[in-house]
């Protein structure tokens, strides 16, 4: 295979960004590359607010899908109790006559049955199109309901998947209360971590957010809330009085942070995902500055570094000058890993198959990286832009191998899914045992993972495992899309669904 | 007769434990070989369709799904062109023999004429195009399966030829067993032992040719109480194929397995062979339980339980729990139960002189409230019920139904004598786990 025939784009990130803005490279996702819709992403954020009942105003399938995906996963992994997701169960007759009566009835019933702090009315495609006037209904009956009511217009067709996150984050700000001097004094050493989603952190896993919380507390500060990872209405109300909002990254949490900044003047600390020491320092220093805890933060960072210094320096020594090829279909993560490889390890990052669609969705992160003077190389092969089927995945795998050619496996490491099989060392940062990835401990973990993969580069990848992903008997004439069960981890995949997320240990 | 619980404040707000019609339609289509499915919908619906394919474990090398990814302008202006483009791309990429084109909520409501698009494109397409309305508002996933089955009827050719000793199997997938295909295999294996051929399965790994030839079968065998009854009735009307054994509970537990087998033997006049199978299989069951399961007798006797299931597995299981394991089903909760299944349930309960609390077509709220209100020692259900039980302080729950927390690499039938062993094995392990120490007390050790 001649790589040149298969390259859709090769160049700097800034060039790709420019082409995408001018419409000179396709930026739409293929019909086979479906993402969760706006309804699903809105629900993902709402799942992180305690004692909130969502009434999905629509047929049962929308509520059932998110419940099965998010709520059951939270029971399984985060020790959460059973939480209902309600539906007004819109049927054929309601499509004709409307479902307003059903919605009013549902709101009143929910108040009686669950006594929630917040009732969220989430519109679906069906009720959005038939034009049920949800806002009017809430205006009419709102005062008779004790719970706070939020209306989220998140019809699946009304925006790209990302818009659901941003919309809910902005709406949550409406539940907050303006800062008071008294509360500001109480919370002058408190931060909100913004950009959490789905619910509490996994109970049995040392997660990235837990690591950030440990670091914040390590410099003598407190966490007021993780919005909306695991927060209550009370915490949300107090949130504007916290000293600073620390976004998990420039994209996730940016919307709520910017809105709180605009409405309540709560400062926002927003950097790239804190992968590696450089990004972690940046994250902590900025947070500390808003609380007057610079000295404590410096002490903490010194302590943290001292704990890992010997191992980290030794691990790092082997990495300078090597190439890090980073799978690009998780756009924000790939940009953050590129930042870490260059700043922490002095490696040369190349982002592989960053879908041009992501340039719009991840604009903030790209701008930040470019402003920081980083402009990593990007390589996009045609398989990434092909109509999704098993072969496009196989094609991208072949293209990857063609790109690598006879490259010396001692000079390149691939950051991507273990379900990809390049002939070079591979680091899968999504693997559950590779957590936390943030902070100093995370930096050491990553450095050790890279070196471990170089150490065992002599071991060929398992034929058995490879054949599971790339069966021998599948020629280019057998065709398919990817299943939801594997979509999180597959090379070149963007399909999504509940099956995989409820079972995959990487999710 | 049985007790009814009254649930206030539950007329308009449902906490669904079943998906929508789209998932059911996708499930039936996923059971057919060499088809692709194009959904004319916003992108989120693709996840629902994906679940339908997951239920057949269609591996990722064989999936052929496309989505038009409708956005606001499409809703306002219509998106027939977009649909045509995706269909053409799919034809080129997938090369499937049949292309189902499904309209979901959005497309159905704005009135996209999918039939017309299919009609217009058909001359230039190799694949046979089949439009289908699958808007989620058309019902739950079982209703969707019925819609999917109905869409297959026009494919079945009328024929005067009837193959003696052959059956069509209908709706094997409408079953709460997480590896329901093992139940299908068990049925096929029994039929093979009796020299009864399987003409067509509606649907699992089924070819289009098999669907076309379904009219040759001598009988229809329904593997679900939830789905397929109307389809079977139409098969009788149009193709004169009788539905057999419709009043039998599914073959779960000793009594129901024997009853089911004997009914099958009687219909096909294979009584002698059936008795041999029963004799051999029952002996195996008893031998294993005598050696490994003796202690279930004191454990389960008069243990009060809530059973939460679908009616397909649930109706069959009640007798096993009550008469064979000597448990007391205090509450029976079915997430779906049609009129016919309800009649069968009533007959079974009356025959056993059993009067549990019954909640049919339950949603999540009713399910949890029922468990809360009943004084039970254990709950039999899925992962959902396990967490509800835990929260409500019930120490034991048996996680046997979909969605389950168990990982199964080897398929497990629930039907037949072997199926009973599988069920009892899960019960036994979950029981053990509930009463084993969870952690070592380090301090005491020191």
**Higher confidence at residue A482 or residue B35?**
B35
Is residue B75 domain-shared with residue B150, that is, in the same domain?
yes
- A279-314 residue pLDDT tens: 999 999 999 999 999 999 999 999 999 999 999 999
Verify whether the Cβ–Cβ distance A483 to B53 is below 8 Å.
Answer: yes
Nearest to A479 among B15, B54, B93 (CB): B93
Considering only the beta carbons, identify the residue of A38, A82, A481 that sits closest to B387: A82
- Residue B44, CA distances (Å) to B4, B48, B69, B371 in order: 38, 7, 8, 33
DSSP per residue, B362-390: --HHHHHHHHHHS--SEEEE-HHHHHHHH
Q: What is the mean pLDDT of residues A166-186?
A: 96
Contact B43 A485 (CB under 8 A): no
Whether A16 contacts chain B with CB within 8 A: no
Q: What pLDDT is recorded for position A482? A: 39
Question: Do A32 and B67 make contact, defined as CB atoms within 8 angstroms?
Answer: yes
pLDDT of residue A310: 95
Record: contact B109-A130, CB cut-off 8 A: yes
Position B15 in a domain = no
pLDDT tier at A169 (50, 70, 90 boundaries)? very high
Interface test with A, best of B91, B104, B137 (most A CBs within 10 A): B137
Asked if residue A65 has pLDDT above 60, the reply is yes
Q: Do B45 and A156 touch (CB under 8 A)?
A: yes
The verdict on A35 touching B (C-beta cutoff 8 Å) is: yes
The answer to whether A72 faces chain B, any CB pair under 8 Å, is: yes
Q: According to DSSP H, which parts of A265-362 are helical? A: 276-291, 294-317, 331-345, 358-361
- % of chain A exceeding 90 in pLDDT: 65
Per the structure, the count of domains in chain B is: 3
Tens of pLDDT along B278-327? 999 999 999 999 999 999 999 999 999 999 999 999 999 999 999 999 99
Q: Which two tokens stand for residue B183?
A: 């139940």
Q: Give pLDDT, residue B446.
A: 58
Same domain assignment for residues B244 and B163 = yes
B302 touches chain A (CB under 8 A): no
Domains of chain A in sequence order: 3-30+311-503 (no CATH), 38-173 (3.40.50.1980), 181-309 (3.40.50.1980)
Please indicate whether, in this complex, the C-beta atoms of B42 and A156 are within 8 angstroms of each other: yes
Query: Does the pLDDT value for residue A102 go beyond 90?
Result: yes
Chain A hits for B384, Cβ within 8 Å = 72, 75, 82
Q: Of the candidates A218, A327, A17, A441, which has an alpha carbon nearest to the alpha carbon of residue A336?
A: A327
Set of chain B residues whose Cβ sits within 8 Å of the Cβ of A485? 54, 60
Final residue in a domain of this structure, among B154, B179, B213: B154
With H, G, I as helix, E, B as strand and everything else as coil, classify residue B25.
helix
B204 token code pair: 């699992």
Residues 383-412 of chain A with CB under 8 A from chain B are 386-387, 389-390, 393
Mean pLDDT of A31-35: 68
Q: Which long-range contacts (CB under 8 A, 24 or more apart) does B298-304 make?
A: B299/B431, B300/B325, B300/B326, B300/B327, B300/B427, B301/B326, B301/B327, B302/B326, B302/B327, B302/B328, B303/B327, B303/B328, B303/B377, B303/B378, B304/B328, B304/B330, B304/B374, B304/B375, B304/B376, B304/B377, B304/B378
pLDDT digits (tens, 9 = 90+) for A122-150: 999 999 999 999 999 999 998 999 999 99
Residue B384 included in any domain: yes
Put simply, the chain B residues between 73 and 92 with a CB less than 8 A from any chain A CB are 74-75, 86, 89-90, 92
For residue B281, tell me if it sits in a domain. no
B189 shares its domain with B78: no
pLDDT bracket for residue A409 (50, 70, 90): confident
Cβ–Cβ of B94/A479 closer than 8 Å? yes
Q: How far is CA B363 from CA B24, B138, B360, in A?
A: 18, 18, 9
- 3-state secondary structure at position A453: helix
Residue B336, pLDDT score: 92
Residue B72 belongs to some domain of the structure? yes
Same domain for B104 and B242, yes or no, is no
**A359 to chain B, closest Cα gap in Å:** 19
For residues B302 and B430, state if they share a domain. yes
**Is B98 at the interface with chain A, CB within 8 A?**
no
Provide the pLDDT confidence category of residue A5 given band limits of 50, 70 and 90. Answer: confident
A486/B60 CB distance under 8 A: yes
Interface of B with A in 52-71 (CB under 8 A): 53-54, 58-71
Residue length of chain B: 446
Residue A507, pLDDT score: 27
- Kindly state whether residues B125 and B241 are assigned to the same domain: no
SS (H, E, C) A360-415: HHCHHHHHHHHHCCCCCEEEEEHHHHCCCCHHHHHHHHHHHHHHHCCCCCCCEEEE
Residues of B in contact with A29 (CB under 8 A): 69
Residues in chain A: 507
Tell me what pLDDT residue A484 has: 39
Partners of B40 in the β-ladder: B103
Nearest CB to A112; choose among B9, B60, B140: B9
Residues B355 and B428 in one domain: yes
Tell whether A159 is within 8 A of chain B (Cβ): yes
Residue B301 lies in a domain: yes
Q: Which residues of A touch B70 (CB under 8 A)?
A: 157
Q: Which residues contact A477 (CB under 8 A, 6 or more apart)?
A: B95
> Range of B137's domain?
21-154
- Cβ A84–B364 below 8 Å, yes or no? yes
Pick from B223, B251, B279: which residue ends a domain? Answer: B251
Cβ atoms of B107 and B116 within 8 Å: the answer is: no
In the block, residue with structure tokens 């190349």: A350
Does residue B275 lie within any of the structural domains? no
CA distances from A434 to A175, A209, A275, B192 (A): 37, 14, 12, 50
Q: Do A499 and B50 touch (CB under 8 A)?
A: yes
Cis peptide leading into residue B403 (ω within 30°): yes
Are residue B293 and residue B415 in the same domain, yes or no? Answer: yes
Amino acid B338: pLDDT? 94
What are the tokens at A440?
């100093």
Which among B192, B171, B36, B180 is positioned nearest to B102, based on CA atoms?
B36
B341 in a structural domain: yes
In this structure, the answer to whether residues B60 and B104 fall within a common structural domain is: yes
- Residue pairs between chains A and B whose CB atoms are closer than 8 Å: 255
Identify the residue whose tokens are 């409820």: A502
Which residues between 189 and 218 in chain B have a beta carbon less than 8 angstroms from any beta carbon of chain A?
none
Taking an 8 Å cut-off on Cβ atoms, the answer to whether B63 and A482 are in contact is yes
- Residue for token pair 């419940």: A67
Pick from A130, A157, A474: which is nearest to B72 by CB? A157
Which of 237-296 (B) contact A at CB < 8 A? none
Q: Residue A28: what pLDDT?
A: 75
Q: List the CATH number of the domain containing B179.
A: 3.40.50.1980
What separation, in Å, do the N-terminal and C-terminal C-alpha atoms of chain B show?
58
Does residue A249 surpass a pLDDT of 90?
no
- Whether residue B51 and residue A479 make contact (CB cut-off 8 A), yes or no, is no
- pLDDT per residue as tens digits for the range B232-262: 999 999 999 999 999 999 999 999 999 999 9
Residue showing tokens 């996933």: B141
Digit-by-digit pLDDT tens for chain B (446 residues) are 577 788 999 999 999 999 999 999 999 999 999 899 999 999 999 889 999 999 999 877 788 899 999 999 999 999 999 999 999 999 988 889 999 999 999 999 999 999 999 999 999 999 999 999 999 999 999 999 999 999 999 999 999 888 999 999 999 999 999 999 999 999 999 999 999 999 999 999 999 999 999 999 999 999 999 999 999 999 999 999 999 999 999 999 999 999 999 999 999 999 999 999 999 999 999 999 999 999 999 999 999 999 999 999 999 999 999 999 999 999 999 999 999 999 999 999 999 999 999 999 999 999 999 999 999 999 999 999 999 999 999 999 999 999 999 999 999 999 999 999 999 999 999 999 999 988 777 777 65
pLDDT of amino acid A395: 72
Choose the closest CB to A156 out of B44, B66, B388.
B44
Q: Measure B194 CA to nearest chain A CA, in Å.
A: 35
- Considering the domain architecture, whether residues B188 and B53 belong to the same structural domain is answered as no
Q: Tell me if chain A has a CB within 8 Å of the CB of B407.
A: yes
**Residues B44, A34: C-beta atoms closer than 8 Å:** yes
Chain B residues with CB under 8 Å of A55 CB are: 13
A187-238, pLDDT tens digit by residue?
999 999 999 999 999 999 999 999 999 999 999 999 999 999 989 999 999 9
Q: Collapse the DSSP code of A96 into the 3-class scheme (helix H, G, I; strand E, B; otherwise coil) and give the result.
A: helix
- B234 plus B361 within the same structural domain: no
Mean pLDDT for all residues in chain A: 87
Inter-chain touch B137–A91, beta carbons under 8 Å: yes
| Residues 194-213, chain A, touching B (beta carbon < 8 A) | none
Query: Measured on CA atoms in the order A477, A380, A467, B31, is the torsion positive or negative?
Result: negative
Is residue B169 domain-shared with residue B219, that is, in the same domain?
yes
Residue B15 and residue A75: Cβ atoms within 8 Å? Answer: no
**pLDDT digits over A310-366, tens only?**
999 998 998 999 999 998 878 888 999 999 999 999 999 999 888 888 887 788 888
Question: Which of A27, A28, A61 to substitute to test the interface with B, most B CBs within 10 Å?
Answer: A61
Judge whether residue A505 has pLDDT over 90: no
Is A113–B104 a contact, with Cβ atoms under 8 angstroms apart?
no
**β pairing state of A377-381 and A7-12:** antiparallel
Check whether A486 has a pLDDT greater than 60: no
Q: Of B133, B154, B175, at which residue does a domain stop? A: B154
pLDDT at B201: 98
Chosen for mutation from B6, B7, B10, B12 (greatest number of chain A CBs closer than 10 Å) is: B12
Whether B343 maps to a domain, the answer reads yes
Are residues A88 and B71, on separate chains, in Cβ contact within 8 Å?
no
Per-residue confidence (pLDDT) for residue A441, from 0 to 100: 96
Nearest-angstrom CA–CA distance, B55 and B138: 21
Rounded distance between C-alpha atoms, residue A250 and residue B232, angstroms:
57
Could you say which of B10, B22, B53 has the minimum Cβ distance to residue A61? B22
User: Where in B74-185 does DSSP place strands (E)?
Assistant: 98-103, 128-133, 163-170
Q: Which residues contact A145 (CB under 8 A, 6 or more apart)?
A: A107, A108, A111, A119
CA-based R_g, chain A, Å? 24
Residue A133 CA to residue A122 CA, distance in Å, equals 12
Q: What pLDDT does residue A230 have?
A: 87
Q: Cα(A55)–Cα(A39) distance, rounded to whole angstroms?
A: 12
CB contact (8 A) between residue B403 and residue A59: no
């Amino acid at each position: 295979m001649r790589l040149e025939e298969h390259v859709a784009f090769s160049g700097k990130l800034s060039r790709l960004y420019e082409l995408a803005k001018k419409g000179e490279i396709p930026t739409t996702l293929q019909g086979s590359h479906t993402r969760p819709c706006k309804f699903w992403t809105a629900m993902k954020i709402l799942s992180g607010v305690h004692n909130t009942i969502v009434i999905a105003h629509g047929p049962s399938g929308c509520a059932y899908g998110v419940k099965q995906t998010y709520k059951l996963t939270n029971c399984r992994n985060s020790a959460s109790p059973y939480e209902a997701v309600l539906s007004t169960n819109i049927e054929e007759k309601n499509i004709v006559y409307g479902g307003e009566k059903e919605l009013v009835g549902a709101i009143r019933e929910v108040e009686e049955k669950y006594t929630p702090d917040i009732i969220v009315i989430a519109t679906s495609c069906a009720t959005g199109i038939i034009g049920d006037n949800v806002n009017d209904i809430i205006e009419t009956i709102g005062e008779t309901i004790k719970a706070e009511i939020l209306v989220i217009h998140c019809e699946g067709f009304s925006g790209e998947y990302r818009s659901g996150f941003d919309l809910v984050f902005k709406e949550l700000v409406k539940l907050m209360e303006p800062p008071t001097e008294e509360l500001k004094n109480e919370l002058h050493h408190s931060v909100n971590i913004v950009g959490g989603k789905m619910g509490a952190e996994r109970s049995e896993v040392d997660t990235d957010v837990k690591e950030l919380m440990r670091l914040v507390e390590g410099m003598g500060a407190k966490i007021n809330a993780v919005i909306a990872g695991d927060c209550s209405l009370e915490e949300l109300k107090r949130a504007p009085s916290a000293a600073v909002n620390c976004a998990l990254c420039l994209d996730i949490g940016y919307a709520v942070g910017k809105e709180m900044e605009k409405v309540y003047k709560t400062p926002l600390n927003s950097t790239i995902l804190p992968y590696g020491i450089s990004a972690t320092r940046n994250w902590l220093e900025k947070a500390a500055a808003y609380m007057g805890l610079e000295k404590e933060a410096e002490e903490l960072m010194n302590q943290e570094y001292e704990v890992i210094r010997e191992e980290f320096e030794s691990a790092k020594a082997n990495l300078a000058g090597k190439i890090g090829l980073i799978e690009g279909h998780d756009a924000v993560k790939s940009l953050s890993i590129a930042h870490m490889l260059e700043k922490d390890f002095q490696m040369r990052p190349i982002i592989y198959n960053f879908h041009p669609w992501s340039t719009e969705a991840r604009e903030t992160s790209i701008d930040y990286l470019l402003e920081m003077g980083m402009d990593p190389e990007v390589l996009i092969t045609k398989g990434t832009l092909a109509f999704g089927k098993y072969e496009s995945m196989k094609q991208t795998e072949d293209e990857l191998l063609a790109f690598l050619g006879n490259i010396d496996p001692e000079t390149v490491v691939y950051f991507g899914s273990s379900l990809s099989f390049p002939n070079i060392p591979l680091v899968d940062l999504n693997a559950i045992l590779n957590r936390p990835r943030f902070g100093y401990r995370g930096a050491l973990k990553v450095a050790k993972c890279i070196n471990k993969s170089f150490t065992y580069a002599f071991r060929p990848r398992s034929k058995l495992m490879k054949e599971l992903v790339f069966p021998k008997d599948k020629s280019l004439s057998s065709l398919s899309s990817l299943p939801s069960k594997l979509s999180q981890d597959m090379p070149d995949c963007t399909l999504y669904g509940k099956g995989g997320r409820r079972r995959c240990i990487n999710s | 007769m049985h007790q009814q619980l009254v649930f206030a404040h539950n007329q308009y707000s449902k906490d669904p434990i079943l998906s929508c019609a789209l998932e059911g339609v996708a499930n039936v289509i996923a059971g057919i070989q060499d088809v692709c499915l194009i959904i004319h919908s916003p992108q989120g619906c693709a996840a629902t369709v994906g679940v339908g394919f997951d239920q057949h474990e269609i591996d990722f090398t064989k999936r052929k799904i496309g989505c038009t990814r409708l956005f606001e302008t499409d809703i306002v202006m219509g998106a027939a062109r977009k649909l045509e483009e995706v269909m053409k791309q799919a034809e080129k990429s997938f090369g499937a023999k049949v292309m189902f084109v499904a309209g979901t909520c959005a497309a159905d409501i704005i009135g996209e004429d999918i039939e017309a698009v299919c009609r217009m494109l058909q001359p230039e397409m190799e694949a046979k195009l089949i439009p289908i309305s699958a808007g989620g508002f058309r019902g739950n996933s079982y209703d969707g399966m019925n819609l999917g089955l109905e869409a297959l009827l026009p494919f079945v050719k009328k024929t005067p030829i009837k193959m003696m000793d052959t059956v069509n199997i209908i709706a094997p997938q409408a079953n709460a067993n997480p590896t329901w295909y093992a139940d299908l295999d068990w049925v096929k294996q029994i039929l093979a032992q009796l020299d009864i051929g399987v003409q067509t399965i509606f649907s699992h790994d089924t070819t289009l040719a098999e669907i076309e030839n379904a009219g040759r079968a001598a009988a229809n065998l329904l593997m679900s109480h939830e789905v397929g009854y109307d389809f079977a009735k139409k098969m009788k009307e149009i193709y004169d194929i009788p539905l057999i054994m419709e009043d039998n509970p599914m073959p779960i537990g000793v009594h129901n397995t024997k009853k089911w087998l004997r009914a099958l033997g009687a219909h096909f006049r294979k009584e002698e062979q059936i008795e041999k199978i029963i004799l051999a299989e029952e002996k195996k069951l008893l031998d294993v339980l005598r050696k490994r399961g003796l202690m279930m007798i004191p454990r389960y006797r008069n243990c009060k339980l809530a059973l939460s299931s679908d009616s397909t597995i649930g109706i069959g299981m009640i007798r096993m729990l009550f008469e064979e394991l000597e448990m007391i089903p205090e509450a029976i909760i079915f997430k779906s139960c049609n009129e016919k299944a309800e009649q069968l349930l009533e007959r079974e309960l009356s025959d056993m002189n059993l009067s549990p609390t019954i909640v049919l077509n339950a949603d999540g709220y009713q399910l949890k409230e029922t468990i809360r209100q009943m004084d039970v020692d254990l709950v039999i259900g899925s992962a959902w019920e396990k967490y509800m039980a835990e929260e409500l302080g019930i120490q034991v729950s048996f996680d046997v139904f979909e969605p389950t927390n168990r990982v199964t690499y080897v398929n497990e039938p629930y039907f037949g004598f072997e199926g009973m062993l599988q069920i009892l094995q899960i019960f036994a392990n979950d029981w053990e786990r509930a009463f084993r120490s969870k952690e070592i007390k380090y301090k005491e050790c020191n």
